[in-house]
């Protein structure tokens, strides 16, 4: 195998929970990408205007951010984490099944808000639990986790495509927008709803959309995910109505009978702690003053600069995937609408490919090095896009390049920051929240700038965000050098044992 026996043995011991967290992130990806292509058909289903239906974007994005903040509340023990993941993944299947029944835009926005909350919980809990299980070995497993969200994001538009309307899905006299429907569908982005107020489509008439079938198919595809979480709950004897036992979860090393006699006392002591990873708090607990006592300036600086890097890079992912189509069809490029429609798919396709490639690469390369390559690659790509801004060919090349460089930034930054803090800070919670805020805020900001300044500002904004990401990364490296390192005795771990002193291989109820 291309990784060593210690990591391989650890993966085998934690195979079921790891696969379960990966599958839950597939639900996240399935739910995050379907709204754009299907929004016009949903407008017909709810018989609403374009400006009204685009508020559904904001409902989902805002509640995703809120769910990311609240997700930490449910993950202090393994039982709470798995129950929250079961409820969230089941909620996503129910959302897919209920969407075809929503014939009012307000009801649809409420349903998408529930989906956003579920996605936010999944985002925080899955990242955090993988970090808890693998700690210093978590980079490779985080890369795989984020591959599954990209895979889900690619799959849901493909499922929806055969059921999308080719002509106006509300039949009314004098309808004039039927021939422009594919263009309008690709123009519906998570930006300011007011930007679409000038577009008029009929809101009354015979609804002929078939998009309901796509949502029911996605509900069925997602159904095995909550079943997988339920099986993990059952295996760990945490189903309240089926298991009356409340024994604490044994460490994975003890379950595998692979612990050495000298380690058993340490592991049993760790199993009695009320908290295995006390630093992995929710956002509100992180802000309590008791967590600041004795903390150095660099402790806060590492959290802040790490979050700012992801604020910029995840913001770039959101704004680029949202506005590259509008940029391409506008002057001076004036790309044909059908050709420009491949750009977002190309971008997400190379993000997914990059995450797949990063799985073996992350085992051989340090997370800090990967983040450096990513942010420098983003800067160079945007610079070349600005230089060759009149070239349609380079727009496609640059889109693929940008997807590759952005693909592994989040998991690599998460692994790097947690490693700096020796898995004792609030890094996962703060970084997930920072990334979510960046994705929402920068989309709104770039949408406003493009509306006021023209399409060329799309690339200028990307270049500025890339420069800021590199600056914050340089500051993070600087604060890393200043951050107090663990004692040498803790670093002299033998190859057969984990380097981290507090790692028990699992987490507690």
* pLDDT 10s digits, 200-244: 554 555 556 788 899 999 999 999 999 999 998 888 877 766 655
Residue 493 pLDDT: 42
Residue 183 pLDDT: 57
Range list of β-strands (E), 50-198: 170-171
Residue 114 pLDDT: 94
Residue 354, classified by CB atoms within 10 Å of its CB into exposed (0-12), middle (13-18) or buried (19+), is buried
Architecture category of domain 295-484 in CATH: Up-down Bundle (1.20)
Contact 421, 299 (CB under 8 A): yes
Measured distance between the N- and C-terminal CA atoms of the chain, rounded to whole angstroms? 33
Residue 39 pLDDT: 76
Distance (Å, whole) CA 327 – CA 325: 5
Residue 222 pLDDT: 93
145-171 burial: b if 16+ Cβ within 10 Å, else e: bbbbbbbbbbbbbebbeebbbeebbbe
Check residue 33 and report its DSSP letter.
S
Residue 291 pLDDT: 55
Q: How far, in Å, are 217, 322, 398 from residue 460 at the CA level? A: 40, 15, 14
Q: For 217, list phi and psi in degrees, rounded to 5.
A: -65, -45
Stretch(es) of the chain classified as CATH 1.20.1250.20: 13-170+207-240, 295-484
Residue 49 pLDDT: 77
pTM assigned to the model: 0.73
Residue 287 pLDDT: 57
Q: How far, in Å, are 249, 281, 291, 422 from residue 278 at the CA level? A: 17, 7, 10, 12
Residues of the chain with pLDDT under 70: 1-3, 72, 74-76, 166-208, 240-295, 425, 486-509
| Six-digit token string for 336 | 């044909």
Distance (Å, whole) CA 52 – CA 55: 6
Distance (Å, whole) CA 119 – CA 70: 11
Q: What DSSP string runs through 52-80?
A: HHTHHHHHHHHHHHHHHHHGGGG-SSHHH
Residue 35 pLDDT: 77
Domain 13-170+207-240 listed as CATH 1.20.1250.20: yes
Residue 3 pLDDT: 62
């Amino acid at each position: 195998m291309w990784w060593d026996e210690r990591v391989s043995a650890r993966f085998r011991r934690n195979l079921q929970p790891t696969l379960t967290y990966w599958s839950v992130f597939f639900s996240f990806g399935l739910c995050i990408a379907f709204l754009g292509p299907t929004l016009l058909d949903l407008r017909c289903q709810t018989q609403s205007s374009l400006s009204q239906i685009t508020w559904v974007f904001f409902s989902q994005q805002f509640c995703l951010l809120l769910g990311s903040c609240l997700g930490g509340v449910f993950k202090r023990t393994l039982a709470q984490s798995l129950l929250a993941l079961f409820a969230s993944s089941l909620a996503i299947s129910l959302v897919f099944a209920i969407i075809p029944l929503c014939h009012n835009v307000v009801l649809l926005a409420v349903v998408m808000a529930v989906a956003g909350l579920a996605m936010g919980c999944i985002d925080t809990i899955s990242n955090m639990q993988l970090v808890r299980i693998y700690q210093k070995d978590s980079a490779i497993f985080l890369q795989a986790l984020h591959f599954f969200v990209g895979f889900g994001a690619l799959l849901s538009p493909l499922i929806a495509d055969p059921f999308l309307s080719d002509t106006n899905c509300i039949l009314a006299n004098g309808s004039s927008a039927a021939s422009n429907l594919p263009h309008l569908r690709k123009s519906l982005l998570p930006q300011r709803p007011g930007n679409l107020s000038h577009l008029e489509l009929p809101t009354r008439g015979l609804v002929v959309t078939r998009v309901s079938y796509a949502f029911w198919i996605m509900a069925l595809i997602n159904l095995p995910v909550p079943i997988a979480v339920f099986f993990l709950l059952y295996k760990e004897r945490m189903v309240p109505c089926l298991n009356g036992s409340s024994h604490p979860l044994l460490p994975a090393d003890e379950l595998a009978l692979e612990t050495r006699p000298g380690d058993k006392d340490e592991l049993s002591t760790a199993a009695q702690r009320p908290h295995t990873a006390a630093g992995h708090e929710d956002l509100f607990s992180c802000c309590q003053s008791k967590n600041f006592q004795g903390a150095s300036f660099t402790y806060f600086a590492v959290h802040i600069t790490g979050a700012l890097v992801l604020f910029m890079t995840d913001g770039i992912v959101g704004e680029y995937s949202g506005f590259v189509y509008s940029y391409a069809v506008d002057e001076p490029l004036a790309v044909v609408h059908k050709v420009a429609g491949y750009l977002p798919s190309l971008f997400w396709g190379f993000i997914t490919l990059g995450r797949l490639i990063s799985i073996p690469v992350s085992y051989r390369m340090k997370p800090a090095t990967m983040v450096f390559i990513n942010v420098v690659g983003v800067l160079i790509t945007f610079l070349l896009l600005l230089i060759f801004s009149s070239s349609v060919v380079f727009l496609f090349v640059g889109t693929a390049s940008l997807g590759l460089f952005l693909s592994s930034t989040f998991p690599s930054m998460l692994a790097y920051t947690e490693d700096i803090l020796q898995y004792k800070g609030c890094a996962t919670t703060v970084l997930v929240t920072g990334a979510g805020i960046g994705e929402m805020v920068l989309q709104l900001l770039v949408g406003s700038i493009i509306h006021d300044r023209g399409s060329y500002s799309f690339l200028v904004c990307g270049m500025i965000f890339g420069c800021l990401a590199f600056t914050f990364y340089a500051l993070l490296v600087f604060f890393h050098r200043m951050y107090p390192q663990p004692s040498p005795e803790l670093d002299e771990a033998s190859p057969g044992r984990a380097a981290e002193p507090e790692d028990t291989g699992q987490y507690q109820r």
